[in-house]
């Protein structure tokens, strides 16, 4: 599970031409909008591992892994507030942003080493790369990155 989010500020200026006593003059009004969106991502990997053999039973073993991953976005929350040309703040709209894809699949590969101490505790550092096929958020201003690199250390018994 990981948390993601983005903030987007939009400013729209509108210029109109007004006429008073036969004289034309421009009038500009500005509206600002601030959007704050947060979500939770659940990544579920599925791998096959190939272990290299060590010379001794207690020696470190390296491994390579390959497989796929599935990502689900949920608990999407959005806060939207606007400030008009007079400086009046209208707060807050809580309609969640709609993601381009609520779930995504990806291909993944990794490598690591398995270390075992005399008590049978396994320390497994590894590096993993995942390429997501479709992004969760994708519009003109916000895109979820399709490339993901992770480094992790696992402790197992």
Q: What is the pLDDT of residues 61-93, one digit of tens each?
A: 999 999 999 999 999 999 888 888 777 777 778
User: Domain limits of the chain?
Assistant: 2-156
> Is pLDDT at 24 greater than 70 in this prediction?
yes
Please tell me the predicted confidence (pLDDT) of residue 139: 78
**Which stretch of DSSP H or E encloses residue 21?**
none
What does the alpha-carbon distance between residue 103 and residue 89 come to, in Å, rounded to a whole number?
A: 35
Per-residue pLDDT, 39:
93
pLDDT of residue 9: 87
**Per-residue pLDDT tens over the stretch 26-49:** 877 888 888 899 999 999 999 999
Question: For 2-156, CATH number?
Answer: 2.40.160
Q: What angle do CA 35, 102, 78 make, to 5 degrees?
A: 20
pTM over 0.85: no
**pLDDT at site 57:** 66
pLDDT tens-digit series, residues 82-134: 888 777 777 778 888 888 889 999 999 999 999 988 888 999 999 999 999 99
Place 150 in a pLDDT band, splitting at 50, 70 and 90: very high
Cα separation, 76 vs 73, in Å, equals 7
For residue 147, pLDDT over 70 is answered with: yes
What is the DSSP secondary structure assignment for residue 98, as one 8-state letter?
Answer: P
Distances (CA, A) of 23 to 14, 42, 84: 20, 62, 27
Residue 78, classed as helix, strand or coil, is strand
- Burial classification of residue 132, based on how many CB atoms lie within 10 Å of its CB (0-12 exposed, 13-18 middle, 19 or more buried): buried
The residues that bridge with 87 in the sheet, in sequence order, are none
Sign of torsion, CA 85 87 92 96?
A: positive
Cα 94 to chain center, whole Å? 20
């Amino acid at each position: 599970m990981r948390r993601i989010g983005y903030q987007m500020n939009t400013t729209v200026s509108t210029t109109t031409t007004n006429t008073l006593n036969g004289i034309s003059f421009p009038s500009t009004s500005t509206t600002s909008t601030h959007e704050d969106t947060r979500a939770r991502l659940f990544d579920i990997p599925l791998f096959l591992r190939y272990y290299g053999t060590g010379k001794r039973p207690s020696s470190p073993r390296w491994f390579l892994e390959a497989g796929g991953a599935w990502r689900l976005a949920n608990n999407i929350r959005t806060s939207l507030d606007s400030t008009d040309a007079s400086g009046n703040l209208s707060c807050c709209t809580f309609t969640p942003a709609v993601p381009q894809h609520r779930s995504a699949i990806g291909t993944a590969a990794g490598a690591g080493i398995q270390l075992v101490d005399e008590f049978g505790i396994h320390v497994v550092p590894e590096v993993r790369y995942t390429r997501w096929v479709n992004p969760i958020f994708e519009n003109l201003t916000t895109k979820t990155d399709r490339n993901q690199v992770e480094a992790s250390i696992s402790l197992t018994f």
